[in-house]
Structure 1
Amino acid sequence: MDEFAERWGNAWNAHDPAQVLELLTDDIVYDDVREFLDHGWRAFPDLTFELIAGPHVASDGPRAAYWWKATATHQAPLDPPGIPATGKHIEFDGVDIHEYRDGKVAKLRIIVNMNDIAMQLGLLPAPGSTAEKVMVGMQKLRSRLTRS
């Protein structure tokens, strides 16, 4: 498991979709793998991952979880959905949950706090800020208008 974890991390940090895809089964449960990799690495060409903890191996099946930290700079458009480069450096952590078959990942779940990433990129206002209060006020107004 430790050897696989090292190969997994190296594949993601190489920014080479072929290396990541090599570690996935052909029928992996994961949407838009190739497109997701290409778009993410294009928008964040310096994206790197560091393992914080794991692998935490399940005792009842071929599964493991990894806690990791990522750093990146938003240097090109994130498309989709079409967010222009902000030039902002971001740091976030997340968890991967892998289910294995034949020495490859057959099911992959990636858990991250997308609100935190959006705030760091300036796409969402910081908690407690004037911009957040305006945004909440607009949502309350919209809610009232649509109930009428």
Structure 2
Amino acid sequence: MRRRRSTSRNTGGASKSGCGRCCRCGAPQAEALREWALAWVLDGYQNHDPDVLASWVTEDFVQDDPLNLGRFVQGREAFRQVMVETFIAFPDCAFVATGPFCLGMDGETLVVPWRTFGNFSGPLAWGPPGQRKSFAPTHRRFDFEGCDFYRFRDGKVASLRSLYDPLQVAEQLAMIPNRQGVVMRIAPYVQGVAASLPLIRG
């Protein structure tokens, strides 16, 4: 008699001998994931509490954000300070998920699509860490979408990479000229003249 081959699959859930909390002891699963999402989104972002957000990242946490102009925010305290500055600049900002939270097959990466909106009502520290400049509030409204890529380690966020259009954000906040405005329409001509000058070329 031939032995029947088992049809059960390892879906990444914790076994009785595992930690009972995560897949590969990396990303939080099921109940733990819901616990993290509620704390991160509701207690942290929606309540504008940088301490809650900082408590859910590792000590060596790394953040990659388009508005940091290619520089990383490194460390829990540095991330906390960025969130303090964010909530000062945008005191009424809100974050909402625009789709399901998608867990990667590596069991360590979580992808979250989102939308954020609010008003630029306070001073904004903008730029790479160590070179941040303060921008006065323009009291302009912003509303844009993006996507976050979280990588977990031991139930906490070890890295966060955000993807969105930084030019769209800067335009909405009136920090740069509108791409459809007069300044941007004549910019190519000005650049062409400047590029033809020997001083600029050399």
When normalised by structure 2's length, the TM-score is 0.68
1:63-74 equivalence runs, <5 A: 63-74=109-120
Deviation string for 1:107-146 (max 9, x for gaps)?
A: 1111221100111112223333222112333333333321
Q: CA RMSD in A?
A: 1.6
Give the greater-gyration-radius structure (CA): 2
Report the Cα distance in structure 2 between the residues aligned to 1:82 and 1:138, rounded to whole angstroms. 28
The code of the aligned residue for 2:179 comes to P
The code of the aligned residue for 2:36 comes to F
Residue 45 of structure 2 corresponds to which residue in structure 1? 12
Report the Cα distance in structure 1 between the residues aligned to 2:166 and 2:122, rounded to whole angstroms. 18
In 2 relative to 1, CA 51–144 (structure 1 residues): closer, same or farther, beyond 3 Å? same
Q: Verify: 1:76 aligned to 2:122, yes or no.
A: yes
Report the Cα distance in structure 1 between the residues aligned to 2:61 and 2:171, rounded to whole angstroms. 31
1:52-71 equivalence runs, <5 A: 52-71=98-117
Residue 201 of structure 2 corresponds to which residue in structure 1? 147
Report the Cα distance in structure 2 between the residues aligned to 1:46 and 1:59, rounded to whole angstroms. 36
In 2 relative to 1, CA 124–48 (structure 1 residues): closer, same or farther, beyond 3 Å? same
Number of equivalences: 148
- Provide structure 1 residue ranges, at least 5 long, that are not aligned to the other structure: none
**1:26 corresponds to which of 34, 59, 74:** 59
Identity of aligned residues (%): 26
